[in-house]
Amino acid sequence: MPSMRRVVIPVFPGVDLLDVTGPAEVFALANQERGEAAGYQVDLVGRTRGEVRTSAGLKLFADLSFDEIDGLLDTLLVPGAIDVATSGSTARVDADVVAWIAHVAPQARRVVSVCVGAHLLAAAGLLDGKTATTHWSTAAQLAAGHPEITVDPDPIFVRCGSVWTGAGISACMDLALALVAEDLGEEVALTVARQSVMYLKRQGGQSQFSVPLSRPAATRRDIDELRMLIVDHLDGDLSATTLAARMCLSERHFARVFRRETGTTPGAYVEAVRVEAARRLLESTDQPLAQVAIACGLGSVETLHRALRKQIGTTPAAYRRRFRLTA
């Protein structure tokens, strides 16, 4: 029987609660799925044993101190903390935590950061020469402070050898699921995703934002309602003429209003949403490309090819090979 995989998570004042509890819950569900088979042992460690107050005001309990971590471990998982000011959000980088990470990282099979925990890995020198991601709001800070790192602010997580970096908030669940898939297989990871009532197990190359979330909220409620209608009726007639008629505007005036409110044209927005839907179908189903094209409103395989190449620079078949979720 394989040995228990030890996951060590440092906790410190102001640490983001979900950065710690999100992955820990995924590992716990994986243990439940495996039954008596070996799974994960999660240890919370702090400067000293005892209570640590998180950013949410709730307290975690460190069972071990930094000085008590010795010997090999499977995964060092580093959460982050944010300082919020009127000028914006910045990642908190604690020198004592950074020094401990640099000391213990060589003992770990892999090193993982969640959200702005990437800034701690960077300060410890663990991301030098690597591509990494972090929460979009601090990506510029990470890039400016560490020019030796290639910072990609878009993906939900990035793997570079034995070092994994993840984006913020809910993406920590996707990252933890990817770790479970690597360790215990896709079937266990997908079962955990279902137990967590997650929409699907997203792969790392996906964007931190869906198309609707990547656009600013409109000042006009009718435009926001139209955007949701587009998402719900991708296989319908979403031409600018039809959408303008629904808004009771001339096509020319509708195009001006839509661009002002969303920053893009109606046609470009509709195509982006349809490509996002096509990506989900390519990831999660074995539907033929013709069916995928029809279901997401692109109509033909030729149009599907053209739209994916334009939006994400690849073909439907190549995308499916890279991101297909094994059922």
Task: Confirm if 122 and 165 have CB atoms less than 8 A apart.
Answer: no
CA dist., res. 210 & res. 206, Å (int): 9
CA dist., res. 154 & res. 133, Å (int): 7
State the distance between the two ends of the chain, measured CA to CA, in whole angstroms. Answer: 25
* Three-state secondary structure call for residue 7: strand
Q: Which of 115, 172, 248, 296 is catalytic?
A: 115
Residue pointed to by tokens 């920590």: 172
- CA separation (Å) from 155 to 105, 203, 243, 293? 24, 9, 32, 25
Instruction: Please list the alpha-helical segments (H only) found in the chain.
Output: 17-34, 95-104, 117-123, 139-145, 171-184, 186-195, 211-214, 221-232, 240-246, 251-262, 266-284, 289-295, 301-312, 316-323
Q: Is 115 a catalytic residue?
A: yes
Q: Supply the residues annotated as catalytic.
A: 115
